[in-house]
Amino acid sequence: MTGLSALRFHTLHIPFRERFRHASAERNATSSVWVEAIGADGRIGVGEACPRPYVTGETLESAAAFFSAVRAGVLADIRDADTLRAWLAGHAALIDRHPAAWCAIELALVDLFARQAGRTAEAWLGLPETAGRFTYSAVLGDADLPAFAATVARYRDVGMNDFKLKLSGDLARDRAKLAVLRDAGPAVARLRLDANNLWQDPARALAYLEALDAPVFAVEEPLSTGLRAALPALAQASGLAVILDESLCRIEELDGLSPGTRWIPNLRVSKLGGVLRTLALVDAARARGLPLIIGAQVGETSLLTRVALVAARAAGEALLAQEGAFGTLLLERDVCEPPLMFGRGGALSFESGGAGWGLACKPDAAWLREAPA
């Protein structure tokens, strides 16, 4: 007997190997949602998401409240791909307010139903299979200089050459980090900055970027999220492309992007509300001729890495860069064995296979905290 019989909500807390810091947050463990969809046949599908208050306004507590509010409706209404898409469309405004919470539910449902059908998640959703060689960026947090230099050396030693640097807002500190990257020479072939909404004053942002005098092509989220209208002028004055993360969480926000600015959406499955909404935004961005970054929240496990590969494949030639796939380079342990993570040159070769997301995921009980039913 197939079908959906129960849903379980947990929060997931896995320690990091080292603390990760940027302008908006600092963490030493995951802060994630883990959902299990239990079938009438005993099969289990799993889903993950990373609610972030500074990205979508969500917290672990708000995700748990959303789960409790929609659980009965999901159990009653969703039984196949068509009813999943219908539920998604019929509750779009609600999901707009709780995208990460919905993401974990959607991924678990897809995993369960595809496993019951004996098909990959892609085949069950009617999508092309995912296969190829995916290359990831080296992401540098705001670590103290000795730790920062050691991290750069590790990336260099494994042959990674595409870098993203998180700014601190301390000019001397950021200049020192840029000096380390300059000393790495040709190992840093391409560099972009991430300010994580550091500035409320566009003039101060411009002055800071000019003072850095960094060999970069783009800056991510330099201004507070309420100042998106000021980004085109900053882009023109700085000569940099603008990468949109917190400022682009819903598909209709693409319509507000002014022409003449080099916009680069950074699309993360969790913040966008699951794989289907992410794919819709990929298609809409490509139709506008925009290059894309397929990103990741800090602390994602191999499950979200796997799902993001679907979006990266869909991006095709528009894919400018890819982030994530850190696996046990960041996590003390992953929920999946073996973990999906990049190797030499930042490369991850993957071909979809097996049922559902095709991963063997079993979180340690010590990492899970279950919410009340």
pLDDT tens digits for range 100-129: 999 999 999 999 999 999 999 999 999 999
The pTM score is: 0.95
Average pLDDT over residues 323-351: 95
CATH H-level, domain 4-119: superfamily: Enolase-like, N-terminal domain (3.30.390.10)
CA–CA gap between residue 294 and residue 277 (Å, rounded): 14
Please state which of the four CATH numbers 3.40.50.150, 3.20.20.120, 3.40.50.720, 3.20.20.450 is assigned to the domain occupying 131-351: 3.20.20.120
Q: Three-class SS of residue 6?
A: strand
- Count of Cβ atoms closer than 10 Å to residue 170 Cβ: 11
Domain ranges of the chain: 4-119, 131-351
- Count of Cβ atoms closer than 10 Å to residue 89 Cβ: 10
- In this structure, the strands spanning 131-135 and 44-49 are unpaired
Q: What is the pLDDT of residues 207-257, one digit of tens each?
A: 999 999 999 999 999 999 889 999 999 999 999 999 999 999 999 999 989
What pLDDT is stored for residue 1 in this prediction?
A: 66
Q: Do 131-351 and 4-119 fall under one CATH topology?
A: no
Nearest to 173 by CA among 139, 211, 218: 211
